[in-house]
Amino acid sequence: MHDSVSGRKEKGLNTAQPLAATEEDFNTEGTEATEKKARTLVPVLGLLRVLCGLCVKFLFLTMGKVTGFKEYTREMPARRPIADRLDDFLEVYQPFAHTSVQTQAARCMDCGIPFCHTGCPVSNIIPDWNDLVYKSRWKDAIRVLHSTNNFPEITGRICPAPCEASCVLGINEPPVTIKVIEKTIVERAFAEGWVRPEPPAIRTGKRIAVVGSGPSGLAAAQQLNRAGHWVTVFEKNDRVGGLLRYGIPDFKLEKTILDQRLEQMTAEGVSFQTHSHVGSNVPVEDLRKDFDALLLAGGAEQPRDLKVPGRDLEGIHFAMEFLPQQNRRNAGDAVENQIRATGKNVIIIGGGDTGADCLGTTHRQKPRSVQQFEIMPAPPPERDPSTPWPLWPLQLRTESSHEEGGIRNWSVATTSFAGDENGHVKQLHGIRVGPPPKFEPIPGTEFTMDAELVLLAMGFLGPVRQGAVEQLGLKLDPRGNISTDASYMSSVPGVFAAGDMRRGQSLVVWAISEGRKAARAIDLFLMGSTRLK
């Protein structure tokens, strides 16, 4: 599979040079008359060159709709009414008609240098599948999409879409709805039965252990299995999926979406072993003996704590104690003593994505009130000048959970918690603070709020060190993540690392990207060559 840029190169088209003529393109030395003539010719030839460029693009690159970006505006699928969605944990977005998606795909300008492609961590070949969708070539579109992304049905739902932030159309217009197009392509492919198991034709006889079944472990497992190796995924939890299963709420990602992909992987020959905690009930030495290579993809599970007086009171929990319980309940499990927001004043500390997920889950449990705290000042409503296009913009984001209610508080810090006679949290004491990096408390702004449930969503501090990481004696980087060389190999030969365990808390799309790259490196390590991308 070629990307747009290399495809253009093969067709002999220059992808990097400007289309307009420059002075060096003409020899203007000589008589004054010749110079004058040349000066007149420059803009004319320049215009001709632009027109020719467009014709070549139109005729040979067969771009779908040259004027689509001028004719159509950005449209997104509607969210379900708030009152309806607060009564269940089903996905927030309503379906989008295929014809509407094709219109959106027609907005793609098929840029000479597609910044969206480089903005996407898995390097999805976005202009190509936009074009294929516009032309109703859905089956080809999924082939192109799958060539770079193992799980587009997941990124198409929960990726923050850095591609859209770097879309060239986004410089002066709303960007192309890349994520929705991605989701629609793969949804259609599943519905049509085009997503089938792809077991390898030949087995190499090599065995690889993948520790952790989040998106990085799963992407690596699928790639390595397709390269012909026997892959076993070890997962300490009772179900496979990592944070996709037990972190991200169902209203963002229903778990049937994950299950259909796991069915495909199982049919391809990947083996999953749940209740298998490597470094605990599965000795690391056994894996070293029984497998030719080991990939650690255990995530960044160490939460950042809030060490203030009263932290030990009942009713103060990490987000990752609260969220998985609701996902288990949605899956039909009985959850004893579930942490619930029902009827309580809830304070969520942390204004990021995990905080937003706590907010949405809290709303569905019908609290009395919800406040969300963030120590950083409120970002501007539009892209901040410090992050110009095509960078990921610093700007206020309003997720579906924010739309559902709750109050967002910026530039606030918690100073202590107070409890009742039973040792349960009753109140939070806080203060307003100045800007980073000092966050200096502002005298006279102290406040107290009622809180019977406090959720800590302040990020993660890298992988859990006790267990497999310590037992293997792995070198860590200055941030406490597993240190690897450029080929994803840790300080112990034959032991590789990928995903949040290697790069720290990040995104699903980065985890998939890392899993694929680590798989490639492992295949190369075992076989001396690789065809994995």
Ligand X SMILES: Cc1cc2nc3c(=O)[nH]c(=O)nc-3n(C[C@H](O)[C@H](O)[C@H](O)COP(=O)(O)OP(=O)(O)OC[C@H]3O[C@@H](n4cnc5c(N)ncnc54)[C@H](O)[C@@H]3O)c2cc1C
Paired residues of 209 in beta bridges = 232, 294
Kindly tell me which of 116 and 451 has the beta carbon lying closer to ligand SF4.
Answer: 116
Helices (H), 335-459: 353-364, 400-403
Q: What are the E-state strand segments in 252-299?
A: 271-273, 293-296
Q: Indicate which of ligand X, ligand SF4, none lies near residue 223 (CB less than 5 to 8 Å, by partner kind).
A: none
Number of other residues whose CB lies within 10 A of the CB of residue 216: 35
Q: Indicate which of ligand X, ligand SF4, none lies near residue 182 (CB less than 5 to 8 Å, by partner kind).
A: ligand SF4
CB-based contact 454:428 (threshold 8 Å): yes
Paired residues of 414 in beta bridges = 430
What are the residues binding ligand X (CB under 6 A)? 158-159, 211-217, 234-237, 242-243, 247-248, 252, 276-279, 297-299, 319, 323, 353-354, 357, 467-468, 499-501, 506-509, 511
Element (H, E) at 211: strand 207-211
Q: Indicate which of ligand SF4, ligand X, none lies near residue 170 (CB less than 5 to 8 Å, by partner kind).
A: none
Question: Which member of 157, 179, 261, 408 binds ligand SF4 (CB under 6 A)?
Answer: 179
Interface of this chain with ligand SF4, residues 403 to 442, rule: CB under 6 A:
none
Residue for token pair 């990947």: 270
Q: Please state the closest distance from residue 188 (CB atom) to ligand SF4, in A.
A: 16
Rounded to an integer, what distance in angstroms lies between the CA atom of residue 284 and that of residue 294?
10
Angle at 169 between CA 163 and CA 171, to 5 degrees: 90
Q: Please state the closest distance from residue 500 (CB atom) to ligand SF4, in A.
A: 17
Rounded to an integer, what distance in angstroms lies between the CA atom of residue 110 and that of residue 355?
37
Residues 493-512: x where in contact with ligand SF4 by CB under 6 A, - otherwise, as a string: ----------------x---
CB-count exposure of residue 381 (10 Å: 0-12, 13-18, 19+): exposed
- Candidates 347, 428, 410, 402; CA nearest to 374 is 410
Q: Indicate which of ligand X, ligand SF4, none lies near residue 163 (CB less than 5 to 8 Å, by partner kind).
A: ligand SF4
Q: Please state the closest distance from residue 166 (CB atom) to ligand SF4, in A.
A: 9
How many chain residues bind ligand SF4 (CB under 6 A)? 14
Q: Please state the closest distance from residue 173 (CB atom) to ligand SF4, in A.
A: 18
Residue for token pair 């989008």: 96
Q: How do 345-349 and 453-456 pair as beta strands?
A: parallel
Q: Please state the closest distance from residue 114 (CB atom) to ligand SF4, in A.
A: 11
Question: Which member of 122, 220, 258, 456 binds ligand SF4 (CB under 6 A)?
Answer: 122
Q: Indicate which of ligand X, ligand SF4, none lies near residue 124 (CB less than 5 to 8 Å, by partner kind).
A: ligand SF4
Kindly tell me which of 163 and 495 has the beta carbon lying closer to ligand SF4.
Answer: 163
Does the protein bind ligand SF4 through residue 126 (CB under 6 A)?
yes
Interface of this chain with ligand SF4, residues 68 to 97, rule: CB under 6 A:
none
Q: What would the two tokens of residue 316 be?
A: 């103060």
Question: Which member of 101, 106, 109, 120 binds ligand SF4 (CB under 6 A)?
Answer: 120
Residues 6+ positions from 141 with CB-CB distance below 8 Å: 129, 132, 133, 185
In the three-class reduction of DSSP (H, G, I as helix; E, B as strand; rest coil), residue 102 is classed as: helix
Residues 148-177: x where in contact with ligand SF4 by CB under 6 A, - otherwise, as a string: -x-----x---x-xxx--------------
Q: Please state the closest distance from residue 86 (CB atom) to ligand SF4, in A.
A: 26
Q: Indicate which of ligand X, ligand SF4, none lies near residue 350 (CB less than 5 to 8 Å, by partner kind).
A: none
7 conformational bin, left if phi > 0, alpha if psi -120 to 50, beta if neither = alpha
Q: Please state the closest distance from residue 272 (CB atom) to ligand X, in A.
A: 11
- Candidates 95, 101, 37; CA nearest to 68 is 101
Which residue ranges make up the site for ligand SF4 (CB under 6 A)?
A: 120, 122, 124, 126, 149, 155, 159, 161-163, 178-179, 182, 509
